[in-house]
Chains A and B, each alone.
Chain A
Amino acid sequence: MLIELRDICKIYQMGDMQVRAVCGVTLDVEKGELISIMGPSGSGKSTLMNIIGLLDQPTSGEYWLEGADVAKLDENTLAEIRNRRIGFVFQSYNLLARTTALDNVELPLIYSGTKNRRRKAREALETVGLADRVDHRPNELSGGQQQRVAIARALVNDPDIILADEPTGNLDTKTGLEIIDLFQRLNKERGITILFVTHDSEIADFTRRIIHIRDGAIEHNERVENQRMARDVLTELIAAKEEDAATPSDKELVAVER
């Protein structure tokens, strides 16, 4: 088992009130799974992802990562796991301001001491379709482009696990599908375990398992019977577009008559 969560809780103390962002979550994730997490806003999805991504500590419960008790790992080991084994895409991107897309993507490589960093960072940006935006700073990029830089940064160090908090939230259907297609390929070809949060049930259908979360707890685990492939949907979409282009629209006909 890759990830084992046992009765995980994250409770925030707000004055007299206790906010149970996540509570009683027990979850097993096997190596090579592709999972989507769904749930209403404020249900604790991000909180759970942060805990899985070793960015935050649970208030109670156990987290075993590849058989190791995470609570017993020291700071440096956690940093190394975050660096080499986990690629995390934040809901709010969290890019370094005033730093180019390329430099942002390069960052994990610096901390892992990898060689050929520029080339690898450039390739990761190409993968997410941003080859022409490498020298742009976050404030010179659209929301969707920033999201893709964040995805490139998560991919760049060849992680074993990718955790993505709403990676398609700011993307149009086609670009979103391309990212999901990328995830599906990484999952299938390289065996990378991927968990991502989405609000879109159609997007969730591209995974094999959907975890429904409500009020900080898992409501149910749903097995997807007919997993769809993003590639197929993309091909259909492109075919439909070409058809559109072949038959001129009414407007254009009017223009020609004049």
Chain B
Amino acid sequence: MNLYESIRMSFRSLSANKMRSILTMLGIIIGTGAVIALVSVGQGAQAFITEQIQSIGSNLIFVFPGQFDQGGGTRSPASQQPLTLEDAQAIADPMRIPYVAAVAPTVSRSVTVTYRGESRTVPLSGTTPEFEFVRNFPVEAGVFISDSDVARSARVAVLGWQTADTFFGGPEFALGETVRVNNVPFVVVGVLQEKGGQAGFGGGSPDNQIVVPISTAQQRLFASRTATARGRRIDLIYISAVDEASIDRAIEEITWLLRQRRDIPLGASDGFTVASQKDVLGVFEQITGVLTIFLGAIAGISLLVGGIGIMNIMLVSVTERTREIGIRKAVGAKRRDILWQFLIESIVLSIIGGLIGIGFGWTLATIVNTLDAFTTLVSADSVILAVGFSMFVGLFFGIYPASRASNLNPIDALRYE
């Protein structure tokens, strides 16, 4: 019997046992589809966060009080000192650190914005004009806050796109209007471009935020909370390095400068953190990596369930199929003929099931994506893994029992129970 005959025989056998063929395929479809869909959620989250953090700004460095890693040095009172505006000014001095392009000291708080009796709670950043460049927030209408606004502690505000849209129905209608921030009146001078995306890094969407001069925030909004012995306290410094290559050097110099300014003794811990965008990205990638592994584990379980499904159908039909093999051998089939038939049957089922499974997983991922709950990303790895595993299970449990049965006497195969 030649290959062509074997192929015809397999197709005939598959179509003669439609229910069995469909059930076997279903196992493969579920296994493949579930893995592809679930892994796509994890990888989508990873891609989303990476994109979000990258959109924060280019060559960005963060300085914030406190330290993730306290290990190594001992704590000293000097380490407990807050960040101040004066620290930021020192970093910004090009004579001291040539690798720094721009510095945006920031006070950030949650505030209530009111306009004509309607109010919203939004994140506020009190900062300097450099913020626009460092954080990559170009204005869509009007202007950003200026140096003179900061110098005068002017009560001017720049609104995020979404905030402007909610209160005024569009960026152009917001300009010149007065809003109340924690009951202090501010004139809207500009509206930021839309960033898009969901709730992101640093609480709330960048489209929801409101930006005011740092001096105004410190003196008129949170006066009681910002004055310290060492100067005016700030929460965060955003720094832009001159280029990507100088990020590491800049971090080193900033750390050294801040330690010096605080008289932190050698061996004591910093008490503040200087991190690049990449460091932050690394932390988040670790988190989403765990998510992907977790979802992958769930997916692995569905593969296993699908695999057990395939196995079950194959094993349940083993009695019937062993008798079939007995009949075929009795009328003259060779072991080779039997193996070819079962191999081709299994390959056909696995390929068709695998393809439908890919389509099913892909569709599921796309639906989840359009639901806006998660971003999903179907990767080649997950497709190969899912299809590979299902195929392996399908082939193994298709061929192994057949191979065993084809070794039996025709009579023993016919009597098999």
Question: Hey, which bits of chain A sit against chain B, CB under 8 A?
Answer: 50, 53, 55-57, 75-76, 79-80, 82-84, 88, 90, 94-99, 103, 107-108, 110-113, 153, 157
Residue of B nearest to A111 (CB): B332
Q: Which of B9, B16, B327, B412 sits near A94, CB closer than 8 Å? A: B327
The segment from B106-114, B226-234, B333-341, B367-375 that touches chain A is B333-341
User: What are the interface flags for B297-334 relative to A under an 8 Å C-beta threshold, 1 for contact and 0 otherwise?
Assistant: 00000000000000000000000100110111111111
| 5 contacts across the A-B interface (CB closer than 8 A) | A75-B334, A79-B335, A83-B333, A94-B326, A94-B330
Does B404 touch A at the CB level, under 8 Å? no
Known: A50-B411, A99-B16. A108 touches B331 (CB 8 A): yes
* Chain B residues whose C-beta falls within 8 Å of the C-beta of A50 in the assembled complex: 411
Which of A76, A83, A113 has most B Cβ within 10 Å?
Answer: A83
* Chain B residues whose C-beta falls within 8 Å of the C-beta of A88 in the assembled complex: 330-331
* Chain A residues whose C-beta falls within 8 Å of the C-beta of B327 in the assembled complex: 94-96, 107
Q: Is the CB of A79 within 8 A of B332?
A: yes
* Chain B residues whose C-beta falls within 8 Å of the C-beta of A113 in the assembled complex: 1-2, 5
Does B414 touch A at the CB level, under 8 Å? yes
Bound complex: CA A79 to CA B337 (Å): 11
Number of A-B residue pairs with CB-CB distance less than 8 Å in the complex they form: 73
Q: Is the CB of A110 within 8 A of B1?
A: yes
Does B148 touch A at the CB level, under 8 Å? no
Does B357 touch A at the CB level, under 8 Å? no
Bound complex: CA A84 to CA B332 (Å): 8
Question: How many residues on B have C-beta within 8 angstroms of the other chain's C-beta atoms?
Answer: 27
User: What are the interface flags for B329-368 relative to A under an 8 Å C-beta threshold, 1 for contact and 0 otherwise?
Assistant: 1111111110000000000000000000000000000000
* Chain A residues whose C-beta falls within 8 Å of the C-beta of B335 in the assembled complex: 75-76, 79
Does B409 touch A at the CB level, under 8 Å? yes
Q: Is the CB of A153 within 8 A of B331?
A: yes
Does B410 touch A at the CB level, under 8 Å? yes
Nearest CB on A from B329, distance (A): 7
Does B260 touch A at the CB level, under 8 Å? no
Nearest CB on B from A229, distance (A): 30
Top 8 closest pairs, chain A to chain B, by CB: A83-B332, A56-B411, A111-B332, A108-B331, A55-B410, A79-B334, A98-B16, A55-B411
Question: Hey, which bits of chain B sit against chain A, CB under 8 A?
Answer: 1-2, 5, 9, 12, 16-17, 320, 323-324, 326-337, 409-412, 414
Residue of A nearest to B9 (CB): A110
Nearest CB on B from A59, distance (A): 12
Q: Is the CB of B326 within 8 A of A79?
A: no
Q: Is the CB of B330 within 8 A of A111?
A: no
Nearest CB on A from B20, distance (A): 10
Nearest CB on B from A60, distance (A): 16
Bound complex: CA A98 to CA B21 (Å): 13
Bound complex: CA A204 to CA B17 (Å): 41
Q: Which of A56, A82, A97 sits near B331, CB closer than 8 Å? A: A82
Bound complex: CA A111 to CA B8 (Å): 13
Known: A55-B411, A57-B409. A96 touches B333 (CB 8 A): no
Bound complex: CA A216 to CA B412 (Å): 19
* Chain A residues whose C-beta falls within 8 Å of the C-beta of B12 in the assembled complex: 99, 103
Q: Is the CB of B411 within 8 A of A80?
A: no
Residue of A nearest to B18 (CB): A98
Q: Is the CB of B324 within 8 A of A96?
A: yes
Nearest CB on B from A249, distance (A): 46
* Chain A residues whose C-beta falls within 8 Å of the C-beta of B331 in the assembled complex: 82-83, 88, 107-108, 111, 153
11 extra interface residue pairs, beta carbon distance < 8 Å, beyond A82-B329, A94-B327:
A55-B409, A76-B336, A79-B332, A79-B333, A90-B414, A99-B12, A107-B328, A111-B328, A111-B332, A111-B334, A153-B331
Nearest CB on B from A105, distance (A): 10
